[in-house]
Amino acid sequence: IRQSIDTGLRRSKFAIVVLSEFYIEKYWTQKEFNALFSLGSKLGDFILPIWHNITPEKAQEFSPMLSDALALKSSEHTIKSIADMFVEKLNYDNNG
């Protein structure tokens, strides 16, 4: 698993992280998040968080540094609107 995660991380321009109770509790997702955060500190605007059925307090408990990041909330947006925002961001990053 680690090698597959490392390969994906090396090839990534940004990461979409869906923070949920399950994500926070799992060993490999925590390792992946740590690597993403490390890459983000070098690349800038790298992590695009989505909070899925998680409170701001729980996000703060998991990662104080990420909890104040601009995040989309699945309770406030449809899957389509979230996907559209990511496509818009990708187009801007590739053309802007």
pLDDT at 56: 77
Q: Is the pLDDT of residue 80 over 70?
A: yes
Of 3 and 46, the structure prediction assigns the larger pLDDT to 3
Q: Is 32 a catalytic residue?
A: yes
CA distances from 19 to 57, 91, 93 (A): 12, 24, 23
Q: Which of the residues 25, 32, 57, 61 is marked catalytic?
A: 32
